[in-house]
Amino acid sequence: MPDSSHHSCSAPDSAKAGWRFAKPTEAGSSSLPEVFASVRLPGENASWFRRFLAFVGPGYMVSVGYMDPGNWATDLQGGAQFGYTLLSVIMLSNLMAILLQALSARLGIATGRDLAQACRDHFPPAVNILLWLACELAIIACDLAEVIGTAVALQLLFGIPLLGGAAISVLDAFIVLFLMNKGFRYLEAFIIGLLSIIALCFAVQVVAAAPPLAGIIKGFLPSPEIVTNSQMLYIAIGIIGATVMPHNLYLHSSIVQTRAFERSSEGRREAIRWATWDSTIALMLALFINAAILIVAAAAFHTTGHQDVAEIEDAYRLLSPILGLGIASTLFAVALLAAGTNSTITGTLAGQIIMEGFLRLRIPHWARRLLTRGLAIIPVIVVTALYGSKGVGELLLLSQVILSMQLPFAVIPLVLFVSDRRKMGEFVISRTSAVLSWVVAAVILILNFKLLYDTIF
């Protein structure tokens, strides 16, 4: 992310911009006030590595959304049907995500507002209500994918019926509560621990699948067939739609403010630098995991005549016999359970940020988390009761389409704000970064409209 420190501009003129900078002292104006600036940083004399480690965490919490159960479905389908060809799409969508998350962190650190608060300050009330409803819908859709993922994992591992698994998934709302009370670093550590489990499970499966290195390298090079083959294009758009998560942009702009950095020009610049490194490295881990899911599916299913594998349950059933590794299927389900749990935690946190930012509505955290989770569980329970596990698979696909539709509501305001000098002052992004950001926003929007059109018609 090019730094715009060469712009010699004073702090933005709040009156002119209609923008109020949040001072940490202002009661109730900070994002996630219970953990705002709660993570202490090492002193001036500390090494750069210790300074960097103090900023590590938010990027990993954000990366969770890039490997949730919704991504698994598209990655499995892509690998089983088309081998390694769609690896280039996973890489492209990851690069887009790295750019957008860097912009999100920059907004939060430079202005002291999260994206929801920034929208509330900038847009008229009617637009804000619309944006808030769109965000809530995105969070419910995302939570839907996570509840389904958790329920499916519990069914595969312990034989618990889908309905029971969906009900058990309510419990992770209390995990968040417990860890947030202990301190934000505990929550980050818990999430990084689960991410490590997912990475380890897939590392073992990739080794067992023994994919050809030449095939993988070729897969990372873009192929014109992705655009010419309509079925491949559909899955490619699904991968991009499932990768960039709208609620993550709100989440990241808030949780970077948990660090007690100096609220000065120099302090903000250092915080932006380390936060960008944190999210970039974390999203490279997400790239590894998404690529690993596709590589395992390509090696296990595409080459053995199982090109029609699209459901998580089918993949679980076939993995061990095909790879000749008894534990492969169990590792797959354990990783799915970790991914589902992780995603629900960050989803409920994003829900709190959005409600407080747009509406200035504060309800007890346990109530907020149960409300979000309840809204996601009801459709899962109804669909499972009526249509069984097949209906749940289709519900998972629908949740990804809803998420795609919500993206413009997060991406456009974000790019609009970070490229506006009156709002960002010396931290405004450079002209080149602004052009690149608008191109990425346009690509995401066009692909999502195409996905929507193809799904409906």
Residue of 149, 186, 130 lying closest to 65 (CA atoms): 149
Residue of 174, 218, 213 lying closest to 86 (CA atoms): 218
DSSP assignments along 175-223, one per residue? HHHHHHHH-HHHHHHHHHHHHHHHHHHHHHHHHHH---HHHHHHHTS--
Identify whether 172 is part of a domain: yes
Identify whether 159 is part of a domain: yes
Say which CATH number the domain at 199 has: 1.20.1740.10
Identify whether 100 is part of a domain: yes
Contact 403, 241 (CB under 8 A): yes
pLDDT digits (tens, 9 = 90+) for 239-281: 877 677 788 899 999 999 999 999 899 999 999 999 999 999 9
Q: Tell me the longest C-alpha to C-alpha distance in the chain.
A: 67
- 17 or 286, greater pLDDT: 286
Identify whether 9 is part of a domain: no
Question: Would you mind telling me the total number of residues written for the chain in this entry?
Answer: 457
pLDDT digits (tens, 9 = 90+) for 52-85: 999 999 999 999 888 887 788 788 888 999 999 9
Domain span holding position 402: 14-456
Identify whether 4 is part of a domain: no
Residue of 392, 375, 374, 393 lying closest to 383 (CA atoms): 392
Identify whether 117 is part of a domain: yes
Identify whether 3 is part of a domain: no
Which distant-in-sequence residues (6+ apart) come within 8 Å of 254 by Cβ?
Answer: 31, 32, 108, 114, 115, 116, 353, 357
pLDDT digits (tens, 9 = 90+) for 117-163: 999 999 999 999 999 988 888 888 777 777 888 888 999 899 998 88
DSSP assignments along 128-180, one per residue? HHHHHHHHHHHHHHHHHHHHHHHHHHHHHHH---HHHHHHHGGGHHHHHHHHH
Domain count within the chain: 1
Identify whether 6 is part of a domain: no
pTM for this entry: 0.87
CA–CA separation, 29 vs 243, rounded Å? 31
- pLDDT attached to residue 334: 93
Q: Tokens 């505990």 identify what position?
A: 186
